């Protein structure tokens, strides 16, 4: 499975903030540390602010900090809210009633999200090198998180 870059950068930003709880962090700092454009990281930070995961302090000396407890941020919810969820458009075409496959795919999406929600940003910050995710866009998420090279 591959996640959109936007979801990976959102995870990246939240883990970065989790690992620096004693100070405000600038978007420039995170973007530079992760090799992401400033503008793209700004969009990610804005989305996370709207969702309540990040607090932004404006002005000189301002920056970002976590707006929610990392233990309360389920990975499934975060990934779905940043565009990385499973989507299934009816394969029958527009205007036709859903078929059995549509129902099966919807059930799978719910199960997948629930499985991801058993893990949190706090878990990710403690156990993996999220920086690998943003630097290995061409690799699968699992391979990048585990440090494996794709065959």
Q: How far apart are CA 90 and CA 92, in angstroms?
A: 5
Q: How far apart are CA 110 and CA 131, in angstroms?
A: 28
Q: How far apart are CA 63 and CA 23, in angstroms?
A: 9
What's the pLDDT tens digit per position in 86-111? 665 555 566 667 788 888 888 988 89
Residue 18 CB: number of other CB atoms within 10 A? 20
Q: What global pTM score does this model have?
A: 0.76
Name 60's Cβ contacts closer than 8 Å, sequence gap at least 6: none
What's the pLDDT tens digit per position in 107-149? 988 898 999 999 999 998 887 555 444 343 333 343 444 343 3
Q: How far apart are CA 118 and CA 17, in angstroms?
A: 21
What's the pLDDT tens digit per position in 28-84? 999 999 899 999 999 999 999 999 999 999 999 999 999 999 999 999 999 999 987
Domain 5-146 listed as CATH 1.10.3720.10: no
What's the pLDDT tens digit per position in 4-30? 899 999 999 999 999 998 999 999 999
Which regions of 13-101 does DSSP assign to beta strands (E)?
54-57, 63-66
Q: How far apart are CA 141 and CA 151, in angstroms?
A: 14
Chain mean position to CA 99: 31
| Residue 119 structure tokens | 């893990």
């Amino acid at each position: 499975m591959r996640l959109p870059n936007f979801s990976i950068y959102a995870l990246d930003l939240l883990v970065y903030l989790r690992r620096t709880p004693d100070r405000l962090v600038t978007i420039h700092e995170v973007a530079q540390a992760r090799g992401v454009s400033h503008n793209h990281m700004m969009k990610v930070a804005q989305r996370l602010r709207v969702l309540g995961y990040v607090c932004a302090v404006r002005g000189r000396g301002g920056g970002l900090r976590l707006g929610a407890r990392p233990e309360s941020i389920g990975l499934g919810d975060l990934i779905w809210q940043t565009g990385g969820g499973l989507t299934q458009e009816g394969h029958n075409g527009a205007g036709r009633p859903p078929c059995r496959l549509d129902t099966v795919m919807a059930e799978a999406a719910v199960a997948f999200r629930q499985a991801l929600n058993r893990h949190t940003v706090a878990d990710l910050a403690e156990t993996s090198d999220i920086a690998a995710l943003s630097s290995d866009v061409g690799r699968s998420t699992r391979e990048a998180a585990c440090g494996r090279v794709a065959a």
